Chains A and B, each alone.
Chain A
Amino acid sequence: MRTDPIILTAAFGYLALLFVVAAWGDRRAETGRTVIGSPTVYALSIAVYCTAWTFYGSVGRAAEHGPSFLLIYLGPTLAMLTAPFLLRKMVRIAARERITSIADFISARYGKSTGLGALVALMALITITPYIALQLKAITVSHAILINYPDSADNTLTNESFWMDKSFWVALVLAVFIILFGTRHLDASERHEGMVAAIALESLVKLAAFLAVGLFVVFGLFAGPGDLFRQVALTPELTHLMSLDNVPGGVTGWVGMLILAFLAFITLPRQFQVLVVENVDERHLKRASWLFPLYMLLINLFVIPIALAGLLLGEAAGNPDSFVLTLPLLAGTEALPLFVFIGGLSAATGMVIVETIALSTMVSNQLVMPLLLRLKHLHINYQGRLAGWLLGIRRISIILILLLGYLYHALIGDSYSLVTIGLVSFAGAAQLAPALLLGLYWRGATRQGATLGLIAGFAVWGYTLLLPGFAQSGWLSATLLTDGPWGIGWLTPYALFGLNGWDIYTHSLLWSMMANVGLIVGVSLFTRPTPLEQTQAALFTQALHPNLQTTSLWRGQTTQGELNELLERYLGATATKRVFANALHRDDATEQPASTELITRAEQALAGSLGSASARVLINSVVRGEALDLESILSILDTTSQTLESNRELEQKSQELARIGEELRAANERLRELDRLKDEFVAMVSHELRTPLTSIRAFAEILRDGDEMPNEKRQHFLGVIVHESQRLSRLIEEILDLARLESGRLTLNPETLDLAALARHSVDAISRLQENRGVTLNIKIDAEPAMIVGDSDRLEQVIINLLDNAGKFADRDDPQILLRLYAHKKHFRLSVEDNGPGISAEERERVFEKFHQIEQSSDTATRGRPKGSGLGLPISRGIVAHLGGRLWADEGATLGGACLIMELPNAPETERD
């Protein structure tokens, strides 16, 4: 069974099977019955993570470092648990922006930067090519073991020339496979259905092979796991193998490796390819988020038993890295080693296929295309042929990458640097994580920050991991590792700044991430992003926001013809037709301006094929007067600042509420005041009404009971009753007047009249009363006639009231009153002055309050003067106000007492005649 022809037939037969499956997958896709539209196939394709390094190397690592190999899978388990947050976001962005690779993703996030894309592509190329070499080496070594067992594999390996090396031919076959199934479409953001189907199959094959060998070892070589572990317990040197002490770097090393695996799982180009670019439906992430970890658990289930079994068997089992193969060989089985070899082959080829596609896309889109676009003559010549060129570039880069990988393996295959390249690659790929993750969650990360962070992180990684690897391979002086460069101790690569005792990967991760994250954050805080960067940052960080607007952010003019020409030149006629499918097919369509949507579609189509940075450059070459569409930008920013906005609105509302509350409080205050005034008024009115009523009742009772009362007395009492009744009716009349005034129902009969005549008439009416009081009444009329518009009865009532009041308050011994009438501007003023004590300034307005006089009544009562109702002045003021005039109190200018002034406007000319 172990002759070369059989092995080669099996190996190339297996590769042929891959071709068949891939072709079948592609044909199904063409007829619309996709085979990869299932979450299970998606999860299996993610299992490309488990490479030959896993297949053979896990056992080796377990045999040497105990459980630390598990960290390579626990990290991705954690990463897959974040799928609904992190991976879903990446998938959604990639689908919308037509992202083709991780380099494209990072470049698109930082303003579609050509330079950043090229940097990431270059970094990926440097980190990953040795990793591809490692896979090829695994194929060569496993083949040699299979052929030469029980002899050592080494002697054939050293003597073979490259055409005898099976991995060379495998690489060649893979190149054909990748070119056939990896470059079917120009659009790299489209799914490679056939390839994904083949990868899923490969994942099943390697799992089955590993489980088969595991079951064989545990139940074939030993009588089950119990027996195996019993024997281990009896072997002193193995009892502590599986403890934490055996993990490099101990507890710190454990955590460091966990983080490293987590980051690398997201940033390894092949993982990005299957996780993000090849994802057909983001709902598939749900199934994959537990199915893929389950896959990893299963493929690792027997790693420790195999490692322990191999160690128990000692010398015969050979190198721990090949226990998987040598244990079945040792037992003398025939078919199983071949199956294991095929399993290892599937693990290696799966990785090489996906990694090469991812790298070739990066090389063509991020490195070659931008360079080609700088050659001006390309824009003019080669009409319609650039589409073919692009695929050609990608195919050549596939061959070159594989060749590079093979050369790496062939030339430096046995050196230390290749053996450790798995984890070194992880640490290198992890350098992309800060730019990626910060870019996804922090809008402030800028292109300059990301560029410097990446360069610094990569440099530190190179110094702390890559360079020491070279030194250990003997290409550099070994003193570099012991004494540091030029004997500078604190620069020793594995113990930078004297930090020793750490495992080398955690050590490198710490320093590189410090530099990387530190620079991204630090530089971003002090640089200003361009408008394009800002919008891309908003689109990336808010990718999962349900209201995110995805229309074009750019406004510019170009014709449909120009756009059509551009697309045809780069994408070919078919793809162009797809883009223009909905555009108008008119004769003058080429002269028509292209709509924003059409430009956006064209840019997306270009981005899917050439990468976002090149697409932007090309669109810029035909679109003129381009400017950011402010409205769209604002809407995007709106989406993100909606929370802020609603906060602001809420604040506004609460301020408004506070204001309204204040108003309500004021209104309430006023109502209370009015209520108090009303109560006061009612109390005063009842008091005023009761006083005459009481005396009427008292005298009436006396008259009723006193039969023998002399007639004269009876007459006097009756006189009092009549007087009090008059006072009562006057009071009621006044109250009614006041009520009418206040409710606005007072009816006046305005007519043009002479105020002078009215004043004289009023003086005559009251002169008898005044004479009785002994009051000297002087009249001084300066304006005659004083024509005004008013109600003569009511005005007379006012004037009499003023004169009556003045008489009451004039000096008791020599009462004097002065009535003056004079013109003042366009008004006439009538003032009534007395020589009494006057009204103090603060009292002057209060005398117009209802019943105000009552408070002073004690004074007047002692003077034996007739009391007023206290309603006269308020009523007078109301009447005057109704006639358009004013009534106020002032200091008496002539007599020194109080002076009440009534002012009424002149009658209009027409009415005066």
Chain B
Amino acid sequence: MNTNHNLPHDSRHSAGQDSHHHARLIALILLAVLLFCPPLLVVVDRLPGVASLVLYLFGAWALVIGLGAWLMERSAKH
């Protein structure tokens, strides 16, 4: 993935990385909003099964947390 892990990075480098990191975070927030909001929920809700909506919600939640952890911890290394 990122080969710059061990390289000393100058401010320009880290600034670029910063904005990249921020862009990913914003994308993640938008994804979370999308996953947690009605249009998708209504679709899932119509699926058969007692707990399909609940399973979907926990699944989406875990996905968002996982992606968040991955992004945050990656940037924490820098």
Contacts and interface: CB of A to CB of B under 8 A. Distances in A.
Interface of A: 67, 70, 74, 77-78, 80-82, 84-85, 229, 232-233, 238-239, 242-245, 251, 254-255, 258, 283, 286-287, 289-291, 293-294, 297, 301, 304
Interface in B46-78: 50-51, 53-54, 57-58, 61-62, 64-65, 68-69, 72-73, 75-76
A289 B50 contact: no
B76 to A, nearest CB: 5
Contacts of B33: 78
A304 B51 contact: yes
Given A286-B75, A290-B68, A291-B69, 13 more contacts: A70-B61, A78-B29, A78-B36, A80-B68, A81-B29, A81-B64, A233-B50, A244-B41, A254-B38, A255-B37, A290-B73, A293-B61, A297-B58
Contacts of B57: 67, 70, 74
Contacts of B21: 84
Contact of B42 (A242, A251, A258, A301): A251
Interface in B13-37: 21-22, 25, 28-29, 32-33, 36-37
Which of B29, B32, B42, B53 gathers most chain A CB within 10 Å? B53
B58 A301 contact: yes
B45 to A, nearest CB: 4
B10 to A, nearest CB: 14
14 contacts: A67-B57, A74-B36, A77-B64, A78-B36, A229-B50, A251-B41, A254-B37, A289-B72, A290-B65, A293-B65, A293-B68, A297-B58, A297-B61, A297-B65
B29 A74 contact: no
A242 B73 CA distance: 34
A535 B33 CA distance: 35
Contact of B32 (A70, A78, A243, A301): A78
Nearest to B45: A244
A449 to B, nearest CB: 28
The B interface, classified by DSSP as helix, strand, loop or mixed, is: helix
Contacts of B45: 243-245
A239 B25 CA distance: 37
Contact of A251 (B32, B38, B76): B38
Nearest to B11: A546
Contact of B50 (A80, A84, A239, A254): A239
Contact of B73 (A244, A286, A304): A286
A78 B75 CA distance: 19
Contacts of B29: 78, 81-82
Contacts of A301: 58
A286 B36 contact: no
Contact of A243 (B28, B53, B58): B53
Nearest to B44: A244
A288 to B, nearest CB: 9
A77 B61 contact: yes
A289 B53 CA distance: 25
A17 B54 CA distance: 37
Contacts of A245: 45
Contacts of B50: 229, 232-233, 238-239, 242
B25 A84 contact: yes
B28 A81 contact: yes
Nearest to A252: B38
B25 A242 contact: no
Contacts of A232: 50-51
A67 B65 contact: no
Contacts of B25: 81, 84-85
Contacts of B73: 286-287, 290
Nearest to A292: B65
Contacts of B53: 67, 242-244
Contact of B62 (A251, A286, A297): A297
Contacts of A297: 58, 61-62, 65
Given A229-B50, A242-B54, A287-B72, A77 B65 contact: yes
A239 B61 CA distance: 23
Contacts of A81: 25, 28-29, 32, 64, 68
Contacts of A283: 76
B11 to A, nearest CB: 9
A78 B32 CA distance: 7
Contacts of A233: 50
Contacts of B65: 77, 290, 293-294, 297
A233 B52 CA distance: 12
Contacts of A243: 45, 53
Given A290-B69, A293-B68, A254 B32 contact: no
- Interchain residue pairs A-B with the least CB separation, the first 8: A290-B69, A290-B68, A244-B45, A251-B38, A286-B72, A293-B65, A233-B50, A81-B29
Nearest to A81: B29
Contacts of A251: 38, 41-42
Nearest to B38: A251
Contacts of A84: 21-22, 25
A293 B38 contact: no
Given A78-B29, A243-B45, A258 B37 contact: yes
Contacts of A242: 50-51, 53-54
A258 B29 CA distance: 14
A807 to B, nearest CB: 82
B67 to A, nearest CB: 9
A304 B52 CA distance: 13
A232 B29 CA distance: 34
Nearest to A240: B50
Which of A74, A229, A233 gathers most chain B CB within 10 Å? A74
A446 B57 CA distance: 40
A245 B53 CA distance: 11
Nearest to B68: A290
Which of A67, A80, A304 gathers most chain B CB within 10 Å? A67
B51 A229 contact: yes
Contacts of A78: 29, 32-33, 36
A85 B24 CA distance: 13
A320 B37 CA distance: 27
Given A286-B73, A294-B65, A67 B37 contact: no
A218 B33 CA distance: 31
Contacts of B76: 283, 286-287
A434 B58 CA distance: 30
